[in-house]
Amino acid sequence: MNICDSDTIDFSLSTIYGASKVTDVLYADVVILNTCSVRSQSEQKAFSYIGRLEEFKLQNPNLKIVIIGCMAERLGYKIKKRFSGVDLIIGSKDINITAFKIINLYFTNNYLKKNFNYKFKVIEYVTITSGCNNYCSYCIVPFVRGIEKSINYQLLIDKCSLMAKNGTKEVMLLGQNVNSYKYNGVNFSLLLKRIASIENLYRIRFMTNHPNDFDDKLIDTITNEYKICPHIHLPMQSASNKILKAMNRKYTYEYYFNLVNKLRKKIPGVSITTDIIVGFPNETERDFNDTLNAIKTIKFDGLYVFKYSARSNTTAFKMFDTVTTEEKKRRHSVILKESNKISAKIISKMIGSTQQVLAEKFDNGIIKSRTRTGHKVFINGSEKYVGKIFNVIIKSVKVNSLYGSIINKI
């Protein structure tokens, strides 16, 4: 999401104001630091980075420091008070309004269209919703990103079409809750169908989904539209119904488990990944084991596991943090170890298979690509493959990545 916001700002600044990116802060006139508030660790990192930026200002007094994103929204006043060298603070709610205004201007201004010279990437991120109405008890997002807003679908179609015309082959649709997208009667399923009809766009991915918003129509759309990649990121968070209730996730483990089975039955070869939080207040050993057992049963293709950290304003902030830091670390590493074992088994079964990949980057003689299911494949090759879709045969596996060789040469 933050990469997408940064890209949007980059797009606006370079196409409208003619600014260009530099590779080193030493050569910059303006530094824009996009921050995250989801975990306290990311805020600490941002604080220390702002301190370093102020040192650059001593060498270049004209340097402007701009802090944007969730942390700017949440702690703007504190940042200003602590760092006198910061010139501008723009909260995440305002970033969206500013960026959309600029993008709206771009799409209605033919002069700018003619002078378009922005270089789109092979895979581009496109934000389709911002904010969230779910108020999971541990999550700061509704407080820093506001209530859920869906972006005008015509604007999204225009944006994806423009990207496709300019070299983008895959779009990753982003939102805290993409599958609750709704704009003037267009729901997420319909939006996917419309984006799938864009010429020269070959792949569509999306993330993140809420299990409660995954209806049968959406599953049918994913099954029937080949351009939609069969990879679903479906945060489970916990498999203990007691903890799910305390998290305000509004589903039970049984509901989640049935949904996973339905997805696997209806979408051929689908890969399913998830998010897990360990050490939520009052998570006992038994609750933790419920989650661990669910991971062993469901066998996710991959997962992200997070140690619970209390965030102010949230309901869980008022709960007593019962699980010690050491115990959170232990649970985190148990889940990670189990998940790595499962993922390794799943991908090792891909050895010898033929996979269709999209080449995203080339570096040092190696092409970095992804399968339709989102698995990374590294291949020996040349730069001419970047942006191309082709078949590879999977030869080996190393640390959750696949290594393959090209079947049909370009």
Binding region for ligand SF4 (CB under 6 A):
132, 134-136, 139, 141-142, 176-177, 210
Quick one: 15 or 134, whose CB is closer to ligand SF4?
A: 134
Among 230, 231, 229, 249, smallest CA distance to 239 is for 249
How near is the Cβ of 96 to ligand SF4 at its closest, in Å? 15
How near is the Cβ of 182 to ligand SF4 at its closest, in Å? 15
How near is the Cβ of 131 to ligand SF4 at its closest, in Å? 8
Quick one: 131 or 404, whose CB is closer to ligand SF4?
A: 131
Cα–Cα distance measured from residue 280 to residue 385, given in angstroms and rounded to the nearest whole number? 45
Quick one: 235 or 404, whose CB is closer to ligand SF4?
A: 235
How near is the Cβ of 202 to ligand SF4 at its closest, in Å? 29
HSE of 407, CA atoms in CB hemisphere, 13 A: 13
Cα–Cα distance measured from residue 245 to residue 137, given in angstroms and rounded to the nearest whole number? 9
Query: Which residues 6+ apart lie within 8 Å of 342 measured at CB?
Result: 295, 296, 299, 300
Taking CA 236 as the corner, what is the angle to CA 194 and CA 175, rounded to the nearest 5 degrees? 35
Quick one: 71 or 136, whose CB is closer to ligand SF4?
A: 136
Quick one: 159 or 210, whose CB is closer to ligand SF4?
A: 210
**DSSP notation for 55-116:** HHHHH-TT-EEEEEEHHHHHHHHHHHHH-TT--EEEEHHHHHHHHHHHHHHHHH-HHHHHT-
How near is the Cβ of 332 to ligand SF4 at its closest, in Å? 18
Amino acid, res. 57:
K
The interaxial angle of helices 188-196 and 216-224, nearest 10 deg, is 10
Quick one: 63 or 178, whose CB is closer to ligand SF4?
A: 178
For residue 214, how many other CB atoms are within 10 A of its CB? 19
How near is the Cβ of 248 to ligand SF4 at its closest, in Å? 8
How near is the Cβ of 359 to ligand SF4 at its closest, in Å? 32
Quick one: 179 or 355, whose CB is closer to ligand SF4?
A: 179
Pairing outcome for strands 123-127 and 170-174 = parallel
Retrieve residue 22's tokens. 């530099």
Cα–Cα distance measured from residue 153 to residue 150, given in angstroms and rounded to the nearest whole number? 8
